[in-house]
Amino acid sequence: MKICVLVKQVPSSDALIKLNSDSTWIKEDTVVFAINESDSFALEEALQIKEQTGEGEVVVVSLGPDRAQRAIREALAKGADRGIRIKESFPYSSDPFEIASLFAAAIKDDNFDLILSGLQSDDLGSGQTGVILGELLGMSTATLVIETELSGESIRVKRELESGWFQWVAMTLPASITIQSGINSPRYASLRGIMSAKKKEIRLIEKNDLSGSIPSLQSIEHVYLPQKTKRTEMITGSIDQVVDKLSEILKRNIKIL
Amino acid sequence: MEILVVLEHNNQTIHRMSWEAVAAGQSLGKDLNLSTTILIMGSDVSTLAKEAATKDITEVLVAEHPLLETYTADGYARTLTQVIESEQPAYVIMGHTYMVRDFLPKVCAILKQPLFGDNISYRIENSTPIFIKQIFQGKLMAEVSPQGNQPYLVTFQSAAFQSESVHRGAGATIRNLSITLSDEIIKTRSEDPFQETTIDVDLSSADIIISVGRGIGKKENINLVKELAEVMGAQIACSRPVVDAGWLPPYHQVGSSGQTVSPKLYFALGISGAIQHLVGMKGANNVIVINKDPNAPFFEIADYGTVGNILEIVPKLTEAIKGG
C-alpha cells in the first residue's frame, strides 16, 4: 500500500494574523507555523493504515517555501517514510486547480494507491485540492471522511453529511480521500522518531520546473481585516469588575436572569 | 446561456442554500445584465422542477438519469460537466454545501475551469465579478479575481444571500436534457444516510445557550461551565474541537456539522469563531463572547465581549449570579 499524505504548513490556530505592507498576504515573520490541523489527522490515518496492512510506505507531499521543510520533518518524525516538497516562494499559489495540478505532476509516477489530505486548509480553506488531484489522476474520491475501512483493493469510508447525518461510501483503489478532524488521535513524535527523521529523504522539486504548462485560474489580489457589522460593547477592568458588568448585562440588557 | 444555478435536493425538498444560490444568481444577473437559468439533476425530479419554475428565471433545465437516483460525486460531476459543455453558461452558481464541496471540484478538474468557493459576496469591477471570501478561519477577508476564461464555478456561503429575496416569475419553461452516464464512470457505491445518535439535547428550542470551545483547556473544566449553565437555566453547546477531543458528546455541537440554533442569548466561552461554527448560531438575538485572544473572529459578531481567561471569569460569574 503506497499512501501519499498532502500536508500544508499554515499559521498555528492561535497565531496573531497581521497584514503585510501592501495588503496582499499576511505578515509572516511574527507568525508561528504548524501542520494544518486536519492534515495531521490525515497523516495519522495513513500511518495507522500502513501499520494495519503491515507493508508499504507513507509519503508526505507539501507545496511551500523553505519554512515548510519543518512540517515535512515533523511528519517524518511521526513515522512517514519520505517526503517530497515542491519549493515555492512568495507570492504563493492560491488557486486550488493550479496547486492540485502541481501535485499531480510531482507524484504521477509514484502510482499511489491512496492519497489522504485534510478536508481543508486553515489558511485559504478552499477544500478543493484533494478532490481535484484525485480527479486529475483518475482516482475515486470522497470527502469529509471520519472513518476508514480498508479491505484489499477497495476502501469503505464513513462520510460526514450535514446536520448530524452520515453515510458509508465504498470505492475501489486508487482513491483520494479528504479527512475530517477528529477521525483519530494523532500521535506525538518519539525521540527515536525525531532522530531517524533526520536521515529520511526529502526530495525537492522546483515549482517552476512543473508549472510550465499549468495555468493559474484565480488569484488573491487583496486581503483585508473584516469590517465589523455589529457594534460590540467591550467589557474591561479587573475580573471582579468584568463579572459585575456581565451580571448587570444579563439582568438589565438581555433580561434573562 | 448566461447564469446557471444548480439546485440541490434530497428527492423531496430543495436545499435551503439552493434558494440562496438562486438569489445570488438573480443578483449577479441584475448587476451584469445576464439571464438566469436553473438546473436540477436527479432521477425523478419533475415536481421539484415545477417548484423551481415559479421563480423569476428564464428556464428550468432537468437532467434526469436512473443513475442519479442516489447522489454520487462521479454521477453529479459528469452530469453537470455535460450540461456546462452543451449549454455553455458563463457562471455556474451553487450553495457551499457538503454535497457541492464533494463533487464540484471534480467539475473544475474535468473542465479546467476555476472554482471560486465559499464566497460571502462579490463586487463588480470592469464588468467582471471579484469574489469576496473569508480566509484564515474568518480572521481576514480576501478578494479573489478570475484569471482564466469563463465559465466560472461559484459557491456562496450559507446566508450570504437571502432565500426570501428570490424573485418570483410568471412561470418559466421546463426543458429536459439528455444525459449519457454509464455504471463504469461511477467509481463509488453509496449506502443510505443515517443518524448516529438520537439527539437528546434540543438546542434548537433553547432560550439560553452557553457554548464552550477549545479554550476550556481540558475535560474537567467543563464542570465549571455546567455550574454556570445550571444557575442561568442554560443549555450547554460546544464547537467542534470540544467534540473531537471527547469533552462533550456530538449532539452538543453547534455549526455546519452540528445543530443550528437561534437562542435569546448565545454565550460563547473560549470559542475563536471559525465560520463553520458561526453559521450554526447566526440567528442568536444576543451574543456574549469571552476569549483570551483579542483578535478572535467571534468578537466581530458579539454584542458584548471581554478579553480574558474563562477559567477565572466563569466560576466568579456563577457565584455572582447565585448570590443574586
Q: Residue A175: helix, strand or coil by DSSP? A: strand
Q: Which amino acid appears at position A64 of this protein? A: G
Q: What is the pLDDT of residue B198?
A: 59
- Judge whether A81 and A197 are in contact, CB under 8 Å: no
Question: Quick check: A165 and B195 CB within 8 A?
Answer: yes
Q: Does residue B197 have a pLDDT over 70?
A: no
Q: Which of A:4-23 have CB within 8 Å of B? A: 11, 13-14, 16-17, 19
Question: Quick check: B140 and A169 CB within 8 A?
Answer: no
Mean pLDDT (chain B) is: 94
Q: What is the pLDDT of residue A90?
A: 94
CA distance to partner chain B, nearest, from residue A41 (Å):
11
Give the residue from chain A lying closest to B232, CA to CA: A257
Q: Residue A132: helix, strand or coil by DSSP? A: helix
Q: Which of B:41-80 have CB within 8 Å of A? A: 73, 77
- Distance, CA of B240 to CA of B258 (rounded, Å): 8
Q: What is the pLDDT of residue B52?
A: 96
H helical segments located in chain B: 16-32, 46-52, 73-87, 98-111, 222-232, 240-244, 275-278, 310-322
Give the residue from chain B lying closest to A224, CA to CA: B141
Q: Which of A26, A95, A169 is closest, CB to CB, to B188?
A: A169
Q: What is the pLDDT of residue A91?
A: 93
Q: Residue B218: helix, strand or coil by DSSP? A: coil
In chain B, list all ranges with CATH 3.40.50.1220. 203-322
pLDDT tens digits, A92-119? 999 999 999 999 999 999 999 999 999 9
CA distance to partner chain A, nearest, from residue B319 (Å):
10
Inter-chain CB pairs, A–B, below 8 Å: 249
CA distance to partner chain A, nearest, from residue B105 (Å):
5
The torsion of the CA quartet B13, B14, B17, B22, rounded to 10 degrees, works out to -150
Burial of A223 (0-12, 13-18, 19+ CB in 10 A): buried
Helix axes B222-232, B310-322, angle to 10 degrees: 30
Mean pLDDT (chain A) is: 95
Dihedral angle sign, alpha carbons of residues A80, A85, A90, A95: negative
CA distance to partner chain B, nearest, from residue A199 (Å):
33
Parse chain A into domains and list their residue ranges: 2-213
Q: Does residue B178 have a pLDDT over 80?
A: yes
Q: Does residue B199 have a pLDDT over 80?
A: no
Cβ-proximal residues to A33 (8 Å cutoff; 6+ apart), any chain? A9, A10, A11, A12, A15, A67, A68, A70, A71
Going by pLDDT thresholds of 50, 70 and 90, the confidence category of residue B159 is: confident
- Give the DSSP letter string of B242-275: HHHTTSS-GGGBBSTTSB----SEEEEES----H
In chain B, list all ranges with CATH 3.40.50.620. 3-185
**CA-wise closest residue to B129 among B150, B107, B108:** B150
Least confidently predicted of A161-165, B176-180, B292-296: A161-165
The torsion of the CA quartet B133, B138, B139, B143, rounded to 10 degrees, works out to 0
Dihedral angle sign, alpha carbons of residues B209, B213, B216, B221: positive
- Distance, CA of A122 to CA of A143 (rounded, Å): 16
Q: What is the pLDDT of residue A226?
A: 86
Question: Quick check: A246 and B193 CB within 8 A?
Answer: no
Q: What is the rounded average pLDDT of the residues A17-45?
A: 96
In B, which residues are within 8 Å of A16 by CB distance?
293, 295
Pairing of strands B59-64, B173-177: parallel
Q: Partners of A63 in the beta sheet?
A: A86
C-alpha cell read off for A22: 501592501
In A, which residues are within 8 Å of B241 by CB distance?
181
CA distance to partner chain A, nearest, from residue B173 (Å):
32
Q: Residue B110: helix, strand or coil by DSSP? A: helix
Question: Quick check: B138 and A226 CB within 8 A?
Answer: yes
**CA-wise closest residue to B320 among A129, A55, A245:** A245
CATH topology of domain A2-213: Rossmann fold (3.40.50)
- Judge whether B170 and B227 are in contact, CB under 8 Å: no
Q: Does residue A164 have a pLDDT over 80?
A: no
Q: Which of A122, A230, A233 is closest, CB to CB, to B301?
A: A230
B251 to chain A, any CB pair closer than 8 A? The answer is yes
Q: Which amino acid appears at position A65 of this protein? A: P
Give the residue from chain A lying closest to B116, CA to CA: A218
In A, which residues are within 8 Å of B195 by CB distance?
164-166
CATH topology of domain B203-322: Rossmann fold (3.40.50)
Predicted ipTM? Answer: 0.92
Q: Residue A6: helix, strand or coil by DSSP? A: strand
Q: Residue A255: helix, strand or coil by DSSP? A: coil
Cβ-proximal residues to B159 (8 Å cutoff; 6+ apart), any chain? B20, B279, B282
Question: Quick check: B140 and A163 CB within 8 A?
Answer: no
CATH topology of domain B3-185: Rossmann fold (3.40.50)
A135 to chain B, any CB pair closer than 8 A? The answer is yes
Rounded to 5 degrees, what are φ and ψ at A13?
-60, -30
